[in-house]
Amino acid sequence: MPVKSDSQLRDMRFSDTSSYAVIYLYRPYTGTFPKTSIGLYVEDEKICSMENKGHYIFAVYGSRTLKLTGLFSHDTCHITLNIEPGRSYYLRCELETGIFGEKHRLRNYKILLDPMPAEKGKKQFDKTLKPITFWS
């Protein structure tokens, strides 16, 4: 179930925080493929399109193993999260540049789905909520 913010999650009468986990998905702002989006799937079901500086919050009920897949063009990235109620998970989505692939299937990008420690993940997630400032 997607929600827009922590405050919206609290306002939705989720009084028993021990019955669900919160997953924070985000893509930090970068100049790498800035106009593209990464499709994110759980168990082959599309849950969102992660744009540059994009962010999503999902509440997940019960203990379970989630298999997430990132898809962009011809590249995929798979990750498995062991979800436990009452915990928060931060997952950074990125497109890395370089030369990747096999001899006949080279490409200049690679999808990364990185679980982040809570403190670092929260700081990076919060930056996606702020307007971009180019000059200060």
**For the segment 71-110, what is each residue's pLDDT rounded down to a tens digit?**
988 788 899 999 999 999 999 998 877 666 666 666 667 8
Average pLDDT of the residues of the chain: 82
What is the C-alpha separation between 135 and 54, in angstroms, rounded?
21
> What region, left, alpha or beta, does residue 6 occupy, with left being phi > 0 and alpha being psi -120 to 50 degrees?
alpha
Poorest-pLDDT segment among 42-46, 62-66, 73-77, 96-100: 96-100
Among the listed residues 55, 110, 113, the one whose alpha carbon sits nearest the alpha carbon of residue 79: 113
Helix, strand, or coil (residue 18): helix
User: 66 near 47, Cβ under 8 Å?
Assistant: no
Give the type of residue at 89: Y
Q: What is the pTM of this model?
A: 0.80
Domains, in order of start, for the chain:
2-127 (2.60.40)
pLDDT score, position 136: 45
